Amino acid sequence: MNIQRISAIFEKDIKDFMKNMMLLTMPIIPVVLALIYDRMGDGEELPLMLIYLIVGVTFSAVTASCMMTMMAEENEKKTLRGLILSPASFFDIIIGKSLVTGLITMISLAVSLMIIGIEPFLNVQAIIGLILLFLFFLLLGIGIGLFSKSIAATSAYLMPVMFLFGFTPIIYSLGLNEGGMTIAIAETFPIMKAVEAHDNNSWSSIGIIALWVVGAALFMYICFKKTATDD
């Protein structure tokens, strides 16, 4: 790990982010969504499910999408060639980009939560839940970014990530049987577990999210091994 290289990547990607319309519009989505829900709520407090929908949208549309788009662009435009002198420098690139993604996510999430009221999030479990969720989506984004060769491909990969993991709370509005299989499976998904942890301050739910993070880390590791042997 080389601090100078990480900061070089960080500075470059922040500059590049500011000039990239595709990335720049992403953090606006959750903010707009928060505004709409806030209006619809007529000043009443929003149900927890809707709040976590916004959280899910932020993490999937900002964290995962920014990460994979940035990595796919480097792949597509062949800018990675010539930068990677050793496997160590590759991690510098990923860390630098993760810092950029983290910063953008934080801004976007903070603004949207301010709009709908940040008070419900001021407890330990909720904050740990959010951090774990961020890691989960970040690792997922890195993993997909590693093997997608073009920006166009990332839009396709982003869809399942968004609908499965980002929009999970929507499942209740689909009119499915409460005790059914689908709901039972959906309730083990990270966003739903975060809602649970938030609701009754349970540490076991946090543990399950942590398991999801480990899973995402494994997924990223497999993707990394695969791309490393491909070359």
Partner 1 sequence: MAPFKLDLKMINSEILPSFSLTIEDSYITTIYSDTDMQGELVQALQNNGSMTVFDQQDGLYKRLTVRSNIAFYRKWFGCQTPLAEILVLFELHTYATVPLHKCSEFEIRRVYYAKYFMSGVYPMIFQEPIHGADIRTINTFINMLQKLTDNNTPVLVIVSNMEHALLLGDVAYKLQEKGLHQIEIDNEDNDTTETETSTLATKNLFKIPAKVDDKVILFDPPEIDYIESQGGKAMIVINGESYAMDSTLTEIEKKLEIYGFYRCHRSYIVNLQKVREIITWSKNTYSLRIDNQIQSTIPLSRTKIQDIQEKFSLK
* Contact residues for partner 1, defined by CB under 8 A: 4-5, 7-9, 11-12, 15-16, 19-20, 74, 77-79, 81-83
The nearer residue to partner 1, 38 or 74, going by C-beta atoms, is 74
Closest to 138 in 3D by CA, of 188, 98, 92, 194 = 98
- Say if CB 136 and CB 213 are below 8 A apart: yes
The nearer residue to partner 1, 15 or 39, going by C-beta atoms, is 15
Largest CA distance in the chain: 56
- Say if CB 166 and CB 56 are below 8 A apart: yes
Min dist CB 85 to partner 1, Å, is: 8
Min dist CB 77 to partner 1, Å, is: 4
CB count within 10 Å of CB 99 equals: 16
Min dist CB 191 to partner 1, Å, is: 33
The nearer residue to partner 1, 84 or 164, going by C-beta atoms, is 84
Min dist CB 71 to partner 1, Å, is: 14
What is the torsional sign of CA 184, 190, 191, 195? positive
The nearer residue to partner 1, 67 or 194, going by C-beta atoms, is 67
Which are the contacts of 59, defined by CB distance < 8 A and separation ≥ 6?
Answer: 105, 109, 133, 134, 136, 137, 165, 166
- Say if CB 207 and CB 197 are below 8 A apart: no
Min dist CB 70 to partner 1, Å, is: 11
CB count within 10 Å of CB 82 equals: 7
